[in-house]
Structure 1
Amino acid sequence: MNQILAAFIFFTRLPFWKIKSVPDECFKHVVSYWSFSGWLTGGIMAICFWGISQILPVPIAVIAALTVRLLITGALHEDGLADFFDGFGGGRDRESTLRIMKDSHIGTYGVLGLIIYYLLGYQLLSSINPSYTPFILLCCDSFCKFVCSHILWLLPYARKEEESKAKVIYSRQNYKEETASAIGGLLPLVFMSHSFFITLPVPILVFIYIQHLLRKRLGGYTGDCCGASFLICELSMWFSIAIVSGLIR
């Protein structure tokens, strides 16, 4: 339970730290329990969307759901996405890419990346039958975090520990943690329509491409790369679900 609580503390701004103090060592394992934080963020998004869609138009409910996750996480993953676009857009080699990604100032590529990401996310979620959307928000969040947690299996950390923004180097999962991560990522899928199961390979393929890109450019991953990978994979799953949703209407 300490590891799950550490994941909630690390990946959200909710005051879970008031419940119980967690040993520092637990924060090295938070990526292994990342999918469980998806139960929280995805679940709150789902409830927010459902409640607001009962009284306001669906597009407003979509904006509210996306906004509430920003508030819960403190835009943690979005910060990583912006740094990822800045680094890979402006960097020419490993050193310049890592230097740009660590810069606290957002650049043109980061701004454009976030704008395009949210425009696509808004349009895709607004196009889906709203009766499916709460379950999609929950399932995609948890499943894509589970998929992206495997970055620890595939790549080494690209920086030295003292250069890490979060001052934490994530530990690679053991088989017990991999099982826990799978439970966190796969169990919510029981709530998703079987018609959308065909979309599950899409974020996996996107993740494989991203880790190939990271290996080629950086020779490893950073915390920013984890957040960016999750958001891009989740967007790809929304995209594929929107296509399938249109086909089954």
Structure 2
Amino acid sequence: MRSLLAAVMMFTRLPLWRLVNVDKRYFADVIKFWPLVGFLTGATTGGVLWLAAQVLPLGVACVLAIIARILLTGALHEDGLADFFDGFGGGTSKEKILAIMKDSHIGCYGTIGLVLYFMLYYALLSSFDPAMIFPIVIAADCFSKLCTAVMINTLSYVRKEEESKTKVIYSKVRILIFVLVGAITMIPFFFLKDASFCWAVVPAILAAVALRFFFKAKIGGYTGDCCGASVLIIEQVFYLGVLVIWCRYQFLF
């Protein structure tokens, strides 16, 4: 239970630290609960989108939903995505990549990457029927975090603990734990409009595998920025998969 609270504290801005004190050792064990935090962030994003779409144009509702998630997470993953683009876009060696990602200033690659990311995110969210978006958003959020957690569990952290932004190195998780957590994260899939949408997990998994080998080849492991970037990239690939299936569904029916 303490590790779950630590996961919520680490991956959101909810001030739970005011209510309960969680020892630092529990934060090293949060990776197994990371996908479950997706229920909170996904429900917030999808809920705001659905509610706002009842009284506002869909485009405005999508922007409000994105803002709500950023406020809830403190743009934690978006910060990692920007550093990811800057590091791997401008770095030519492992040392250079890590040095650039460590720099708190955003560069050209990071700026362009974030602009393109938010454009794609907005376009994807606004492409769906608001009546069906809620379970899709939760499924995407949970599953992208599950894929990322499993992926980094197979890699080594490439920095020293004191160099980490969170000052924590994640502990390795047994496969059985991921199987149990994965089963829970499958719950939103039962509420999707059509069972064929579940096929969107295939490109998402392939994206996670590709990122895993990319990180291994470029820097020999992962960093916190790699984690944040992976969540968002895998999530967008999942949305793209659902949208392709949705467009085909619309064409057929």
**1:125 Cα deviation from its structure 2 partner:** 1.4
d(CA) in 1 for partners of 2:191, 2:6: 26
Q: CA RMSD in A?
A: 1.2
CA contact (8 A) 1:125 1:242 kept: no
d(CA) in 2 for partners of 1:181, 1:65: 26
**Aligned residue number for residue 242 of structure 1:** 243
d(CA) in 1 for partners of 2:75, 2:120: 17
Residue 139 (str. 1) matches residue 139 (str. 2): yes
d(CA) in 1 for partners of 2:118, 2:25: 35
Structure 1, 231-240 or 181-190: larger mean CA deviation: 181-190
**Aligned residue number for residue 13 of structure 2:** 13
**1:182 Cα deviation from its structure 2 partner:** 1.4
Residue 34 (str. 1) matches residue 42 (str. 2): no
Q: Taking structure 1 as the reference length, what is the TM-score of the superposition?
A: 0.96
**Aligned residue number for residue 228 of structure 1:** 229
**1:164 Cα deviation from its structure 2 partner:** 1.1
Matches within 5 A, 1:1-249: 1-175=1-175, 177-193=177-193, 194-249=195-250
d(CA) in 1 for partners of 2:28, 2:180: 15
CA contact (8 A) 2:136 2:188 kept: no
**Which residue identity does 1:178 align to in structure 2?**
F
Q: State the secondary structure of the residue aligned to 2:189.
A: helix
User: Where do 4+ consecutive residues of structure 1 move more than 6 Å?
Assistant: none
CA contact (8 A) 2:151 2:209 kept: no
1:72-131 superposed Cα distances (whole Å, 9 cap, x missing partner): 000000000000000000000100000000000000000000000010111111112222
Structure 1, 30-39 or 181-190: larger mean CA deviation: 181-190
d(CA) in 2 for partners of 1:48, 1:29: 30
CA contact (8 A) 1:146 1:182 kept: yes
**Which residue identity does 1:58 align to in structure 2?**
L
**1:175 Cα deviation from its structure 2 partner:** 4.0
Task: Provide structure 1 residue ranges, at least 5 long, that are not aligned to the other structure.
Answer: none
Count of residues in Structure 1 that have an aligned counterpart in Structure 2: 249
**1:135 Cα deviation from its structure 2 partner:** 1.2
Percent identity for Structure 1 against Structure 2: 42
Q: State the secondary structure of the residue aligned to 2:212.
A: helix
Q: State the secondary structure of the residue aligned to 1:50.
A: helix
d(CA) in 1 for partners of 2:231, 2:160: 23
d(CA) in 2 for partners of 1:33, 1:202: 23
Q: State the secondary structure of the residue aligned to 1:150.
A: helix
**1:184 Cα deviation from its structure 2 partner:** 4.0
